[in-house]
Amino acid sequence: MNKAMGLLGLALAFSLHSPALAHGVQPQQSTPAEPVSPGPLMTADQMYKAFGWDFDKTEIKTEKLAEGFYVLFGLGGNIAVSVGGDGTLIVDDQFPQLMPKIKAALKGVGSDKVDFVINTHWHFDHADGNLTLGKEGSWIVSQSNSRDKMLGDQIVNFGPFATEQKAFPQHALSDITFDTTMQFHINDQKIELLHIGPAHTAGDTAVIFRGVNAVHMGDVFNNSGYPFIDADNGGDLAGMIAFCQAVHDAIDDDTKIIPGHGPVTDRTKLARYIEVLTIIQGRVQALIDDDKSLLEIMAVKPTAEFDTEFQANEMMLPSFLSRVYASLTRE
Ligand SMILES: [Zn+2]
Ligand SMILES: [Zn+2]
């Protein structure tokens, strides 16, 4: 995603909804008044605009990680692709608007049809492509809690802002679900699906490709900034750390890690992510125990020393802290 454009769009979205601005009062920098309640509700189109997502201008980039195994980068969640004698299995499918380009990229790596789609979770930027692929007969697989979420309209609350994700029609729902583990044995390798517990949402899956030694972690592991914890939909910071630790323990130093967003990385980076999230969790918990409010916690800047490393910005940092706070103060 184009970060600068995204920020501009978000700032615009805020200013349009800000009563303070309407009355000619300068808003306080960066901290909205009620960061815990859902902020202005954006439509999907407003959200794409806010993130600077332009489907027409986007090109799909293909990175080869091994023979018959690729990652596609476009808009939204990264797509893992296994192509071989048994067919094509992909992890996450981005957006219908990008599907002609995604299919062209798949053709480029020798795939004519998507046989299986695994959704790491139900969020629109990882699963909206189901709207096209489900209609065309691809089998859709997800953790059972994710299918439950796809059945209804959902509010995805980032804290200072929020968006609505509409219920999926029947053809875009998961055809096959699992609760904790599941295995595929195709394209000469074992593919393990793991659900550890609530993390980014309540329905996350890590997909480990044993043959090519790679894992797709969905949004439980973000390699483009601090993670979004969808606390209002069962996401949980402690669970996110535990989920990452479980995957860390199930792979080795040579495993290629595909994050939900950002470039392909390795186990060292995952270990660092776990370390930083654990430190932040401890600091924010101590402030909560000290009866500090979210705004007071934000003022202390408990993440400051990591903000450059984690590419924090004025809009997403309040969102991250608000979701950490929501996760740690949930009844
Ligand atoms: Zn995502
Ligand atoms: Zn997500």
Average pLDDT score, the chain: 90
Residue 16 has pLDDT above 70, yes or no: no
Instruction: Indicate which ligand has the atom closest to the C-alpha of 79.
Output: 1
**How far apart are the CA of 319 and the centre of ligand 2, in A?**
14
The mean pLDDT of 110-128, rounded to a whole number, is 98
* Whole-number pLDDT of residue 23: 31
**How far apart are the CA of 123 and the centre of ligand 1, in A?**
7
**How far apart are the CA of 76 and the centre of ligand 1, in A?**
6
* Whole-number pLDDT of residue 1: 35
The mean pLDDT of 265-282, rounded to a whole number, is 98
Instruction: Indicate which ligand has the atom closest to the C-alpha of 78.
Output: 1
**How far apart are the CA of 201 and the centre of ligand 1, in A?**
11
42 contacts: CB under 8 Å, gap ≥ 6 = 13, 50, 161, 162, 163
* Whole-number pLDDT of residue 315: 83
Residue 38 has pLDDT above 80, yes or no: no
294: alpha, beta or left? (left if phi > 0; alpha if psi -120 to 50) = alpha
pLDDT > 70: percent of the chain: 89
The mean pLDDT of 153-168, rounded to a whole number, is 94
Residue 256 has pLDDT above 70, yes or no: yes
Residue 22 has pLDDT above 80, yes or no: no
* Whole-number pLDDT of residue 39: 75
* Whole-number pLDDT of residue 35: 55
Instruction: Indicate which ligand has the atom closest to the C-alpha of 201.
Output: 2
The mean pLDDT of 122-131, rounded to a whole number, is 98
**Model confidence band, residue 200 (pLDDT cutoffs 50, 70, 90):** very high
d(CA 122, CA 107): 26
Instruction: Indicate which ligand has the atom closest to the C-alpha of 228.
Output: 2
How confident is the model over 45-90, as pLDDT tens digits? Answer: 888 888 889 999 999 999 999 999 999 999 999 999 999 999 999 9
Q: How does 55-65 read in b/e, with b if 16+ C-beta sit within 10 Å?
A: eeebebeeeeb
* Whole-number pLDDT of residue 19: 31
Residue 24 has pLDDT above 50, yes or no: no
Residue 8 has pLDDT above 80, yes or no: no
pTM, full prediction? 0.90
* Whole-number pLDDT of residue 49: 87
* Whole-number pLDDT of residue 67: 97
Instruction: Indicate which ligand has the atom closest to the C-alpha of 163.
Output: 2
Residue 111 has pLDDT above 70, yes or no: yes
Element (DSSP H or E) covering residue 3: helix 3-17
Instruction: Indicate which ligand has the atom closest to the C-alpha of 204.
Output: 2
Lowest-pLDDT range, 33-42, 219-228, 248-257?
33-42
Question: Could you tell me the residue ranges of all domains in the chain?
Answer: 3-329
**How far apart are the CA of 260 and the centre of ligand 1, in A?**
6
**How far apart are the CA of 122 and the centre of ligand 2, in A?**
7
User: Which CATH superfamily does the domain covering 3-329 fall into?
Assistant: Ribonuclease Z/Hydroxyacylglutathione hydrolase-like (3.60.15.10)
* Whole-number pLDDT of residue 51: 84
* Whole-number pLDDT of residue 310: 97
